[in-house]
Amino acid sequence: MMAAIPETMNALVLTGPGAFEIKQVATPTPGPREALVRVGAIAICGSDPAIVEGVKFKGLWPPGYPFTPGHEWAGTVVALGDGAARFHPGDRVAAEAHKGCGYCRNCMTGRYQLCENYGNAATGHRHYGFTSQGGYAEYVVASEHAIHNVGDMPFDEATNVDTAATALHAVQRGRVAVGEEVCVFGPGAVGLLCLQLALASGVARCFVVGRRHRLKMAVELGAVAVDYEQLGDPVAEIRRLTGGRGVDVAIDCAGKPATVQQSLAAVCNGGRVVCAGFAGDVELSLTDIVMREIDVLGVRADPNTAEEVIRLINKGSIRIGPMISHRFPLSDFGAALETFSKNLDNAIKVVVEP
């Protein structure tokens, strides 16, 4: 047997909009087909600051208080609920955030992140760290559907399995193919992973539109840099670099109205625009989309892509290590959150270790 599981644990607890504390709470117990995992590391996601603030997604994420957020965690399985058979105590695993009800039409066709019973826990649906308790804690409970064996991958890198899997879903939605040209807007974690996955898919060139330390990191990972701060109009530069044609696929990871519009303007006739950020309301020319037969594709999370990225990370085809810029203990969550959300000290991916 493993080390005894304590009855209480440290956890980040949101107590109201923008208010949180680290405090002792009861260690959760795994239910049927769930695992209890001792969290080794958890990364701050771009969506976490908004969940902590509790304004942008009021009443949805979190659904109420007290609430423990966090979905990009990795750790060790320490106990199993009834009927859980996929894992064993001691297994090293990484999480994904969505677990569908399992029986609605979308779940049955593999699109469980679009579960028709979203948010209805009685049906078995979970969205860990969003509508269900998450992983900024010493222990977390998750369905065996929502964890993946990572082998020997270090936990700090394994926190990015969910992020990398989301990037793979974006690349797959865009039907990125060997020999094509791709442009990624926004070299945050998802953008840098889209870049790496596009290159792993055999694209001829992957342009990345960004600036400063994140763009420098993109170049280190193989991108052709388009520095919008220096150049002004990134679309003109992409057109120039592609002989006027534009790219086959543009992936917006910046999540701003301007970058979505630039993505549309940067693709060739018949191209694909992949929207991986929350850009809000954006004005786009439907005439342009129709006349040039552009596919505009939304991307939500990472259905059925985690196992593939785990292989690529373990093989070294995707590099997570260089993207991890900061590490904090859970007790310093406030400093970790500030470093991440204010992009202090060249932050890219900030990891918290309980």
> Where along the sequence are the contacts to Zn ion (CB under 5 A)?
45, 100-101, 104, 107, 115, 117
Give CA–CA dist 170/194, Å, rounded.
7
Minimum Å gap between C-beta 104 and Zn ion is: 3
Minimum Å gap between C-beta 283 and Zn ion is: 28
Q: How many CB atoms lie within 10 A of CB 6?
A: 12
In which residue are the tokens 């609430």 written? 67
Q: Check: CB of residue 277 under 8 Å from CB of residue 184.
A: no
- Give Cβ neighbours of residue 86 (< 8 Å, ≥ 6 apart): 144
Q: Which is nearer to Zn ion, 261 or 339 (CB)?
A: 339
Which of 42, 58, 84, 99 is CA-nearest to residue 349?
42
The β-bridge partners of 98 are 127
Q: Which is nearer to Zn ion, 101 or 318 (CB)?
A: 101
Give CA–CA dist 328/108, Å, rounded.
39
φ, ψ of residue 214 in degrees (nearest 5): -70, -35
Q: Which is nearer to Zn ion, 165 or 183 (CB)?
A: 165
Minimum Å gap between C-beta 299 and Zn ion is: 12
- Nearest-CB residue for Zn ion: 45
Minimum Å gap between C-beta 112 and Zn ion is: 6
Q: Which is nearer to Zn ion, 107 or 330 (CB)?
A: 107
Minimum Å gap between C-beta 102 and Zn ion is: 6
Q: Check: CB of residue 287 under 8 Å from CB of residue 255.
A: no
Q: Which is nearer to Zn ion, 100 or 271 (CB)?
A: 100
